[in-house]
């Protein structure tokens, strides 16, 4: 029977988020003090050696990102920025909200350490406007951290300065994508930018910018406190540490669970989430949200890690797991995912604007006629493949992911 291992949620429920003294009593801000009294290069090395990978979905190395931002050289660089991506728009994902509501100071501490490591003096938390509880907790926490001298001028008498500001998003899924987020933060319409340049080189207002997810920042104080070796002893060789999984759908105990990476889907569903509702049979799980993948029972015992899942044609993504019992329709789930993409397409480029509409049109035609579903799936795949190759940003490149996995695991049931 698997149990939870908590890093990002280690303080959840243990202190009052509205009262900074209760966080300090737990040893809060001690890791920031240790970090700010170390060399920035050492911090980057520790995070790199710990093999911390971004928890926002793509799993990119956090240490490397920091190194690129730290080393970014440009003649007119007046400022470097740190941005916390708290947009949390991926369907089925509700982990960042828990950290912000239950442990806002851990996020602030992680951002403070990251800002010092890359030499940024201004940071933003970009958060979806619907997260009213998180926003109010963060406002209080930022005010109290400033009053205590953990933000503002001369932090821990080191001469280091940091200001953190909250900016609200308006609920667009695409604004969670880092380059679109930058446009939105600059006050522009939420349209994506072309990569390169990457944010580390030219980010917010054209300045070097480090962008990480809430959960990623929440791991940093732990690495500073416990060291690289200990961190790497948790999880798998290529993906050390823990991950918060948000399990929803046909399970008895839907919710958030933080475990070591390498846990299996079976352990998450049956040990932690209590098994399938009404003791029905497991049919499928959708891993990583809408821009994720369907898997069947043959993946139940595959350890959850970015690379291990990739070998099975699946993704870990944001950690969302939607579970479907055997009476659910794969066709209906596909319909809702494609409907979501059509709704969220920003319309800037033709392949995605027309493509997402076309995918739904094909599904609607099939709903009302007795068409050959295997032929339909092949048509959808051809369209999504074309979108993948020609769309301007990752949103238009996403529908291929669930469709390919349906072909791999559920062709006969589609």
Site for ligand FMN in 59-98 (CB under 6 A): 60, 85, 87-90
**Contact set with ligand SF4 (CB under 6 A):** 174, 192, 345-349, 352-353, 391-393, 395-396
Beta carbon nearer to ligand FMN, 214 or 276 = 214
CB 57 to ligand SF4: min, Å: 16
CB 301 to ligand FMN: min, Å: 26
347 is in the binding site of which of ligand FMN, ligand SF4, none (Cβ under 5 to 8 A by kind)?
ligand SF4
Verify binding: residue 216, ligand FMN, rule CB under 6 A. Answer: yes
CB 179 to ligand FMN: min, Å: 7
Buried b (16+ CB within 10 A) or exposed e, 85-98: bbbbbbbbbbbbbb
CB 291 to ligand FMN: min, Å: 6
The site for ligand FMN, by CB under 6 A, has a size of 22
CB 84 to ligand SF4: min, Å: 23
297 is in the binding site of which of ligand FMN, ligand SF4, none (Cβ under 5 to 8 A by kind)?
none
Which one of residues 178, 250, 258, 267 is an interface residue with ligand FMN (CB under 6 A)?
Answer: 178
Q: With the C-alpha atoms ordered 10, 14, 19, 24, is the resulting torsion angle positive or negative?
A: negative
CB 96 to ligand FMN: min, Å: 7
Report how far residue 12's alpha carbon sits from residue 101's, in angstroms, rounded to the nearest whole number.
9
Compute the C-alpha angle 339/307/356, nearest 5°: 15
Verify binding: residue 57, ligand FMN, rule CB under 6 A. Answer: yes
Compute the C-alpha angle 376/381/387, nearest 5°: 130
Q: With the C-alpha atoms ordered 116, 120, 121, 124, is the resulting torsion angle positive or negative?
A: negative
Which one of residues 31, 134, 184, 213 is an interface residue with ligand FMN (CB under 6 A)?
Answer: 213
Report how far residue 141's alpha carbon sits from residue 118's, in angstroms, rounded to the nearest whole number.
23
SS3 (DSSP) at 222:
helix
Buried b (16+ CB within 10 A) or exposed e, 316-344: bbbbbbbbbbeebebbebbbebbbbbbeb
Beta carbon nearer to ligand SF4, 93 or 397 = 397
Report how far residue 185's alpha carbon sits from residue 205's, in angstroms, rounded to the nearest whole number.
9
216 is in the binding site of which of ligand FMN, ligand SF4, none (Cβ under 5 to 8 A by kind)?
ligand FMN
Report how far residue 349's alpha carbon sits from residue 192's, in angstroms, rounded to the nearest whole number.
10
Helices H / strands E in the chain, number of each: 15, 10
Binding site for ligand FMN (CB under 6 A): 54-58, 60, 85, 87-90, 173-174, 176-178, 211-213, 216, 394-395
């Amino acid at each position: 029977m698997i149990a939870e291992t908590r890093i990002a949620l280690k303080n959840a429920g243990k202190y009052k988020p509205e009262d900074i003294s209760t966080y300090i009593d737990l040893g809060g801000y001690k890791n920031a003090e240790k970090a700010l009294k170390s060399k920035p290069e050492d911090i980057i090395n520790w995070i790199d050696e710990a093999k911390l990978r971004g928890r926002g979905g793509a799993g990119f190395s956090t240490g490397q990102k920091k190194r690129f931002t730290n080393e970014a050289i440009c003649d007119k660089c007046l400022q470097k920025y740190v941005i916390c991506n708290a947009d949390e728009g991926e369907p089925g994902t509700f982990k960042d909200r828990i950290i912000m509501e239950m442990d806002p100071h851990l996020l602030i501490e992680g951002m403070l350490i990251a800002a010092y490591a890359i030499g940024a003096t201004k940071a933003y938390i970009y958060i979806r406007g619907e997260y009213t509880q998180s926003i109010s907790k963060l406002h209080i926490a930022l005010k109290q951290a400033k009053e205590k001298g953990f933000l503002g001028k001369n932090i821990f008498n080191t001469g280091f300065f940091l200001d953190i500001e909250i900016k609200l998003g308006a609920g667009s899924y695409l604004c969670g994508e880092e380059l679109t987020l930058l446009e939105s933060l600059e006050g522009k319409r939420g349209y994506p930018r072309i990569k390169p340049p990457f944010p580390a080189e030219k980010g917010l207002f054209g300045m070097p910018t480090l962008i990480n997810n809430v959960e990623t920042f929440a791991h940093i104080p732990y690495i500073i406190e416990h060291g690289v070796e200990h961190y790497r002893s948790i999880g798998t060789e290529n993906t050390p540490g823990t991950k918060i999984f948000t399990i929803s759908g046909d399970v008895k105990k839907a919710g958030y669970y933080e475990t070591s990476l390498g846990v299996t889907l079976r352990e998450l569903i049956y040990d932690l989430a209590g098994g399938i509702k009404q003791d029905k049979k497991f049919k499928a799980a959708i891993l990583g949200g809408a821009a994720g993948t369907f898997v069947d029972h043959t993946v139940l015992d595959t350890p959850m890690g970015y690379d291990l899942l990739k070998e099975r044609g699946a993704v870990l993504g944001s950690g969302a797991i939607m579970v479907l019992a055997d009476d659910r329709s794969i066709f209906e789930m596909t319909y809702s995912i494609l409907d979501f993409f059509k709704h969220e397409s920003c319309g800037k480029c033709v392949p995605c604007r027309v493509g997402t509409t076309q995918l739904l049109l094909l599904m609607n035609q099939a709903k009302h006629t007795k068409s050959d579903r295997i032929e339909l799936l092949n048509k959808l795949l051809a369209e999504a493949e074309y979108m993948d190759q020609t769309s301007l940003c990752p949103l238009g490149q996403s529908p291929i992911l669930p469709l390919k996995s349906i072909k791999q695991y559920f062709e006969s049931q589609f």
